[in-house]
Amino acid sequence: MNDAVEVTLRAVGVLAAFLVLPLLVGQTEHKVMAHMQGRLGPMYAGGFHGWAQLVADGVKFVQKEDITPAAADQRVFRFAPAVALVPYLVAMAAIPLSPDVVAADLPASAVFVLAVTAVGILGTLMAGWASANKYSLLGAMRAAAQLLSYELPMVLAVASICLAAGSLSLSGIVAAWSPWWLVLQLPGAIVFLVSAVAELQRPPFDMPVADSEIVFGAYTEYTGLRFAFFLLSEYAGIVVMSLLFAVLYLGGWHGLASDQLGWLWTLLKGFCIAVVVIWLRVAWPRLREDQLQRLAWLVLVPLALAQLALTGVWVVVAA
Amino acid sequence: MTEEAKKPGAIGIPGILKGLATTARTMAKPTHTAEYPHAQPHLPPRSRGVIALLEENCTSCMLCARECPDWCIYIDSHKETIPATTPGGRERQRNVLDRFAIDFSLCMYCGICIEVCPFDALHWSPEFEYSELDIRDLLHEKDRLGQWMPTVPPPSALDEHSAEAAEIGATTRPGRLVRTTPARPAPTRATPSGQEPPPASGQEPPPPTASEPAPEPGE
C-alpha cells in the first residue's frame, strides 16, 4: 500500500514536471527569441509580460477541429503523437535532479535515457508515413536520416563520459564528476550538444520540418491537440536533453549548498543549456541536407571517437 | 562569407560565432517594438491616413472623381441660379454640392484626387484609426470627411534654398498693372511683315519689372 502511494506520488511529480518545464522553455523561447530580434514577444496574455501565452495557446489548440485526412492510415495517424510524446516522459523519470529527487533511479540510466529518447523519432516516422502526404513522407524520411546520423556521435560522446566516470548510472556519473571534465570532456560536450539539437530537429538542423521546402514535414496534416502534442514533445525533448547535458557535463547538483538545493542547481544548469539551444535557433540559418550529413559523419563522429580515445588514455593513466 | 567557409568541408567558425554575437548584442539592446494601442506611433510628415474635405472650397468640378484610378469618389451636385446683384445684370449659375463621398474600402491612397483638386478642397490627414466592423461603413460622406479637416497638419516647411511656393510668390511679387485695353506687342519689337505696328493708343509702357512679355489676359 505504501509502495503504491509512493509510486503514484513519483508519477504525478514527473507528470507535473513534464507539463510545466516544457512550457517554461517555450515561454523562454518566445521571450529570448523576441529580444534577440529586437521585439518584445508576448506581452498581454496573463497580464505580466505575457506569462500565460502558452496556456492560451493550449486552450486554442484544444478548441481546434481534430482532422484525420481521409486517405490517411487512421489508427497510425492518431497514435503517432503519443509515440512522439511518451518517450520523453519516460526519459524525464530517469533523469536525477539530485541524489534524492529522482523518480526512478535505474542502474544504467544513461543508456536507458538515450534508448528511450531515440524511440521518439518513431512517432515522427509514423506520422509521416500515415499522413498520405508527400511532404509528410519527405519530412519523416529526413527525420529518420538525421536521427541515424546523429545518434552515433551522441552515443559515442556519452560513452566517453561513462568511461570517465566508470558508471552507466546518471547518479553515479554526477557522483564521479570533477571540474576537470569541463576541459577534458569539452569536445564530447560540443558533440553531444550539436547531436542533441539535431536529434530534436531544432534549427539549424530542422530540415525535417523545413517550412520553406516541405510545408511542415511530418506534421503537415496534423491539427488541434495532436499537433500540440508534437510541439510539446519538441519542448519536452529540449528539457530532457538540457537536463541530460547538465547532469553529464556540468556536474548536475554540484554547487553551493548542494545537499538542500541540489535539484535547483541541476534545473538551473539545464535551463542555461535550454537557453543556448534557443540561442542557436535564433542565430543560425538552416543547414542543407547534405551539409547536415557531412557535419555528422566528417566532423562529429571523428571528434567523438577522438574524445573517446582521449578519455580512455586518461582513465588508464590516472588509474 | 570568408574564403575558407566556401571550401567544402571547412566550417565557417568565425561566421558562426559572429551570428551568436550579433543576436546576443541585439538581446542586450532595447527593443524596437512600439506597443501601438498603448503608445501612439510616430508618423512621418506627409503621412497618408485619411482624406479630408474642405467643403467650402469644392466647386463640384468632378476632377477628383474623374481622375480617381478606382473610382471611389462619388459627387452629386446641382446648379443654382444666383439672381443678378445689380439691376439689369446677368444672372449667374453656381454648382451646389449635394453629396461628396469617398469609399475608403476602395481607395488606394494614391493621392491623385488631392493633387488634381484646383481649389485645395481635399487634404491628407494623418489620422488612420477609422477601421469599421462593416466594410460598408468605410464609405465616408461629406460631413464625416469634413470632420477630418481639423486634423490636417499645416504644410511642412520647405527645404533650405528651395524655390518659393508658387502661391506665396504670387502674393509677394509686384502686381501686374491693370490694362484698360488689350495689350499689344511693345513698339520696339520688330514685326515680321515689316508693317508699322498700330500705335499704342496712349497707354503707358509695361513696367520695368515685367520684362518678359506678359501673357494675354483671358488666354
List the domain boundaries for chain A.
Answer: 2-318
B84 within a domain of the structure (yes/no): yes
Q: What is the full DSSP assignment across B146-169?
A: HHTGGGPPPPPPPPTTPPPPHHHH
Give A298's DSSP letter. Answer: I
Q: What percent of chain B has pLDDT over 70?
A: 74
Cell of B4: 575558407
Question: B63 φ, ψ to 5°?
Answer: -60, -45
Contact assignment for B9 to A43 by CB distance below 8 Å:
no
Q: What is the pLDDT of residue B219?
A: 39
C-alpha–C-alpha distance, residues A208 and A144, integer Å: 9
Contact assignment for B31 to A38 by CB distance below 8 Å:
yes
Domain count, chain B: 1
Mean pLDDT of B30-55: 87
Do A269 and A187 form a contact (C-beta atoms < 8 A)?
no
Closest to B35 (Cβ–Cβ): which among A37, A43, A279? Answer: A43
**Which residue is it, cell 491693370?**
B178
Contact assignment for A284 to B16 by CB distance below 8 Å:
yes
Q: What is the pLDDT of residue B201?
A: 46
- Chain B residues within an 8 Å CB radius of A280: 20
Packing angle between helix A53-63 and helix A224-249, nearest 10 degrees? Answer: 140
Contact assignment for A38 to B20 by CB distance below 8 Å:
no
- Chain A residues within an 8 Å CB radius of B20: 279-280, 283
Q: What is the pLDDT of residue B5?
A: 45
B195 within a domain of the structure (yes/no): no
Q: What is the rounded average pLDDT for all residues in chain B?
A: 78
B85 within a domain of the structure (yes/no): yes
Beta-sheet strand order (sheet of B139-140): B73-82, B92-103, B139-140
Continuous segment of H or E residues that includes residue A8: helix A2-36
In the predicted structure, residue B200 carries a pLDDT above the cut 50: no
pLDDT tens digits for B155-194? Answer: 777 788 888 777 777 777 776 766 666 655 555 544 445 4
In the predicted structure, residue B203 carries a pLDDT above the cut 70: no
Q: Classify B99 as helix, strand or coil.
A: strand
Domain extent at residue B73: 50-151
The count of other CB atoms within 10 Å of the CB of residue A193 is 20
Contact assignment for B23 to A283 by CB distance below 8 Å:
yes
| Spans of chain A below 70 pLDDT | 1
* pLDDT band at residue B218 using 50, 70 and 90 as cut-offs: very low
C-alpha–C-alpha distance, residues B195 and A124, integer Å: 102
Q: What is the pLDDT of residue B69?
A: 93
C-alpha–C-alpha distance, residues B146 and A170, integer Å: 76
Which residue of chain A has the CA closest to B33? A39
- Chain A residues within an 8 Å CB radius of B26: 35-38
Contact assignment for B31 to A298 by CB distance below 8 Å:
no
B129 within a domain of the structure (yes/no): yes
Contact assignment for B11 to A299 by CB distance below 8 Å:
yes
Contact assignment for B19 to A34 by CB distance below 8 Å:
no
Contact assignment for A35 to B9 by CB distance below 8 Å:
no
Give A131's DSSP letter. Answer: T
Which residue of chain B has the CA closest to A292? B9
Which A residues, 28 through 47, put their C-beta within 8 Å of a C-beta on chain B?
32, 34-40, 43
- Chain B residues within an 8 Å CB radius of A299: 11
Of A235, A194, A224, the closest CA to residue A89 belongs to A235
C-alpha–C-alpha distance, residues A147 and A68, integer Å: 27
- Chain A residues within an 8 Å CB radius of B24: 36, 279
Q: CA distances (Å), A28 to each of A49, A89, A106, B146, B181, in order?
A: 11, 20, 31, 49, 86
Q: What is the CATH number of the domain that holds B75?
A: 3.30.70.3270
Contact assignment for B24 to A32 by CB distance below 8 Å:
no
B76 within a domain of the structure (yes/no): yes
Cell of A174: 554526477
* pLDDT band at residue B197 using 50, 70 and 90 as cut-offs: very low
* pLDDT band at residue B122 using 50, 70 and 90 as cut-offs: very high
Mean pLDDT of B133-151: 91
In the predicted structure, residue B73 carries a pLDDT above the cut 90: yes
Peptide bond before residue A204 is cis, with ω within 30 degrees of 0:
yes
Nearest chain A Cα distance for residue B3, angstroms: 17
- Chain B residues within an 8 Å CB radius of A283: 16, 19-20, 22-23
Which residue type is seen at B112? I
